[in-house]
Amino acid sequence: MLTEFTEVLRSTWPAVEWRIIGQTVCADIDERYLDAVMKHLRAQHWRIGTIVAQESAHALDVRYFLYATEHPGWAELRVAVDPVERTLPSLTNVAIAADWFEREIEDLFSIRFLDHPRLGDFVRHDDRRPKRVLEEDGAFMMTVGPVYAGEAESALFLLETVGEDVVRAVPRLFFKYRAIEKIAEGRSAQDVLLLAERCSGTSAIGNGLAYCHAMEAALDVRVPRRACVLRAFFAELERLRHHMTSIREICASTALTVAESQAIWIEEQLLRISGILAGHRYLFGVLAIGGLMHDYERDELRTALAAAQELEHDVVALRAALETSSSFLDRIEQVGIVSERAAQTFEIVGPFARASGVAADMRVVQPYGAYADVGFEVPTEKDGDGYARLRVLFSEMTQSLRIMRSLLDGLPDGPVAAEVHTRAGSGMGWSEAPRGASVQWVALDDDGAIVRYRLTPPSFRNWHGFHVATENFAFQDFPIVLATLDLSVAENDR
């Protein structure tokens, strides 16, 4: 597939040197072709993986990474930017999903994207609040945050409202910006793994795995089969726990306290299973570059799986109870609707997208590790409302248990870590974290220190579509919409 695809590229743009390296089509292209090439890729349903700017003493590059959705394959387009003039054409006309990437790069690298509709004031706040759009009698802007509610993450929401109804909501993020990508520079590959895990503590394996994949691509490491299977096992255990957390938050947002308590109890049991198995409740310190930190006995894994399977009964009972509670359904049905078209346009990922009918799942679209050999379904729903998202979360929990079971049945013997030799290079890695696709890119120098680290977590993609779900809703539904969208501020802010 990829070779045929590249042939078409070669014949259309003969001036560009197209190379195939592994699963990736690479090219250094001139900014003049960028728009047309991007249009061509988008027409074939390629999605944006990430956009990376990198500046060294004498060069400034922007790399566009896209992945195919119909067959395995990536594209890496490198564009050199004049380090004095610092301008590039904006791609927002071709791909709206590029919008936030360009705003972030403009803010952190001072590259101006020509014709971009709105630049500035993104990562670094210069306290210019967005202009009020609504001009009506009694219209005002209600601010929520950055410190609000009980244990909420810090983010600011600007709700434009006329009385009871909120017409639109604008999120202001990056209050928690820790500059992970910047502080990673100069650190060793091992230490940056700690940063990748802690970018979002509730999806440590999801984001950590994408980082490990990137490092393994850069250093050309073959991960042993046993490690691949165990990594997938831990990833699914984390997905189980994460989805239970989201379900708990949805119950809490509708003030259904009994359901919340029952969900939190199941969640605590899953945390304990992780604690017993891995020694850490959030599975920190499980992954290593080239495999895993430790090996695990078959009996330990079986006990963990059995304990998780025992909880399945409680999960199913909770689902049945929620689906027959009309007062609960009234509050989550028809709220925060995101159409399939909007989900495609904003390239939303993860369970959020799957609830709107977009079956985007990196485990299937770009299979990695052990997933290619495991049979499972990707649950999708059509409605795109809060209830559809809840159903997707529940269905994915069932699938995760199924995957864990078949992984253990086919667990091979052998080592769990490959030898890693440092060298200079760069690599791209991806994984399906609990909230969606995590795409990461690393560049290393000769000593194995990180030169540039780019982390594109799923929440960064999904917050971009937040405003679609928050148009014309009743004020009291705001916490419910927020909970069903399953967004992490920490993951976005990095």
Partner 1 sequence: MMNWFLRGLFAGVRTEGLPEGNVARSLSPGLPQSTEHATPARARELEAACPTGAIVAAAALARVDEDRCVHCMRCKGADGQTWRRDADWTHPPAQNAQGALERRFMRSIHVRVVDAGDCGSCLNELAQMNGPSYNLHRFGIFITPTPRQADVLLVVGPGTRQMHDALKAAYEAMPEPKRVVAVGACAASGGIFGPSPMSSGGIAELIPVDLVVPGCPPPPLAIVDALRLVCGQITRDSR
The residues that touch partner 1, with contacts defined as CB under 8 A, are 124-125, 146-154, 174-180, 182-183, 190-191, 194-195, 198-202, 204, 245, 248, 256, 258-259, 261-262, 264-265, 267-268, 271-273, 275-276, 279-282, 284-285, 293, 321-322, 324-326, 488, 490-491, 493
Q: Which of residues 86 and 198 has its CB atom nearest to partner 1 in the complex? A: 198
Q: Are 411 and 298 in contact (CB under 8 A)?
A: yes
Q: Which of residues 138 and 150 has its CB atom nearest to partner 1 in the complex? A: 150
Give CA–CA dist 222/206, Å, rounded. 19
Task: Show the 3-state SS of 353-376.
Answer: HHCCCCCCCHHHHCCCHHHHHCCC
Shortest separation between residue 207's beta carbon and partner 1, angstroms: 10
CA atoms within 13 A on the CB side of 84: 0
Q: Which of residues 142 and 372 has its CB atom nearest to partner 1 in the complex? A: 142
Strand duo 87-89 + 112-114: pairing: parallel
Give CA–CA dist 450/288, Å, rounded. 16
Shortest separation between residue 153's beta carbon and partner 1, angstroms: 5
Shortest separation between residue 136's beta carbon and partner 1, angstroms: 30
Cβ-in-10-Å burial (0-12, 13-18, 19+) of 210 comes to buried
Q: Which of residues 56 and 257 has its CB atom nearest to partner 1 in the complex? A: 257
Shortest separation between residue 357's beta carbon and partner 1, angstroms: 28
In the structure encoding, which two tokens stand for residue 384, read together?
Answer: 């795109």
Shortest separation between residue 247's beta carbon and partner 1, angstroms: 13
Q: Which of residues 106 and 491 has its CB atom nearest to partner 1 in the complex? A: 491
Instruction: State how far the alpha carbon of 341 is from the alpha carbons of 17, 78, 335, 349, 473, in Å.
Output: 34, 29, 17, 13, 20
What does the radius of gyration of the chain's CA atoms come to, in whole angstroms?
22
In the structure encoding, which two tokens stand for residue 404, read together?
Answer: 């864990």
Q: Which of residues 117 and 186 has its CB atom nearest to partner 1 in the complex? A: 186
Query: Longest C-alpha distance within the chain, in Å?
Result: 71
Helix and strand counts by DSSP (H, E) for the chain: 18, 16
- Of 111, 129, 422, 428, nearest to 290 by C-alpha is 422
Q: Which of residues 14 and 150 has its CB atom nearest to partner 1 in the complex? A: 150
Q: Which of residues 98 and 173 has its CB atom nearest to partner 1 in the complex? A: 173
Shortest separation between residue 193's beta carbon and partner 1, angstroms: 9
The residues, ordered by sequence, that sit 6+ positions from 2 with a Cβ below 8 Å of its Cβ are 20, 23, 25, 68, 71, 72, 73
Residue 484, Cβ neighbours under 10 Å: how many? 28
Shortest separation between residue 307's beta carbon and partner 1, angstroms: 10
Q: Which of residues 150 and 375 has its CB atom nearest to partner 1 in the complex? A: 150
- Of 211, 164, 166, nearest to 189 by C-alpha is 211
Shortest separation between residue 439's beta carbon and partner 1, angstroms: 19
Shortest separation between residue 15's beta carbon and partner 1, angstroms: 42
